[in-house]
Amino acid sequence: MPKRAQQMSSNAARRSVPGFFLTVGAACLIAATVGGHLALGLVTLGILALCSLALILLGRRSETYQGLTDKTPDERFARIGGMAWAGTGIVLTVGNLSAFIGELASGRNGNPYFWFVATAAITYLTFVALLSRHT
């Protein structure tokens, strides 16, 4: 790939993550407004907009962020990205599991946390099975 095309592709990747954050923030604002929670929607959009701005600023100066958003990251950045996603998955799974247990302890049925936990467990087992075949 020519150097110019590779640079444009890399720049597009660096903009896509902040753009995704802004799109999710806008969707949350719309959903919260429809649900009668405008203030919550504005707070959510504000938080995601700040995260987006931080990523844009990081994209200019951070070698790590640039390496993570390259089309073909080297082994180090691929490992950092994989570990970051794994850590995120652990935090979300433990949070949902805690909420599920809290719901059960409060005498409720645990929805929707049950489905998040069940999906996480099934996804984990599926990835273990698939990745063990390919490595």
Domain boundaries, the chain: 1-73, 74-135
pLDDT on residue 26: 97
Report angle CA 33, 42, 69 to the nearest 5 degrees.
115
pLDDT on residue 62: 74
pLDDT on residue 64: 72
* DSSP-derived secondary structure for 60-111: HH-HHHHHHTSSS--HHHHHHHHHHHHHHHHHHHHHHHHHHHHHHHTTS--T
What is the residue-level pLDDT of the chain in tens, covering all 135 positions? 555 555 545 566 667 888 999 999 999 999 999 999 999 999 999 999 999 998 888 777 777 777 776 666 788 888 888 888 899 999 999 999 999 999 999 999 999 999 999 999 999 899 889 988 876
pLDDT on residue 57: 84
Q: Which of 79, 78, 68 is nearest to 17 (CA)?
A: 68
